[in-house]
Amino acid sequence: MHKLLVSIAAAGFSLAANFAYAETTVGVVDFYDTEAGILVLLDGAEFVVPAGLDLPEMEYEDEVTIEFSVNEEENVVSRVVVNN
């Protein structure tokens, strides 16, 4: 019984380690390439925008709040809000 519980706990920890947690950041837009799906902030942070994700109109120097997850060393956007 003890070995079964240890196995179940280990499997749960393994799944939790693979789960991508959402993060949030606030920054200023440098540029957004809709065709390439790349959003870059003035501080150099880069984000991948998945195809089909609708984002608000953004311009250079707009302040934005970005919700994203880190997936295979890429910041993948799930939501953007323009703050100004």
In-domain check, residue 1 = no
Q: Does the residue 6 lie in any domain?
A: no
**Mean of pLDDT values over 28-43:** 96
Over pLDDT 90: what percentage of the chain?
69
Residue 63 burial (10 A CB sphere; 0-12, 13-18, 19+): middle
pTM confidence score:
0.74
Are 67 and 77 in contact, with CB atoms under 8 Å apart? yes
Assign 84 a pLDDT band (cuts: 50, 70, 90). Answer: confident
**Quick one: pLDDT at residue 21?**
74
**Is 45 contained in some domain?**
yes
- In terms of Cα–Cα distance, which of 77, 81, 80 is closest to 37? 77
- pLDDT at res. 28: 98
Cα 69 to Cα 22: distance, rounded to the nearest angstrom: 5
Report residue 68 as tokens.
């994203």
In a domain, 47, yes or no: yes
Domain range enclosing 27: 21-82
Residue 56 has pLDDT above 70, yes or no: yes
Q: What is the CATH number of the domain that holds 77?
A: 2.40.50.320
Q: How many CA atoms lie within 13 A of 25 on its CB side?
A: 18
Burial of 68 (0-12, 13-18, 19+ CB in 10 A): buried
pLDDT for 19:
55
Name the domain count of the chain: 1
Q: Is 12 part of a structural domain of the chain?
A: no
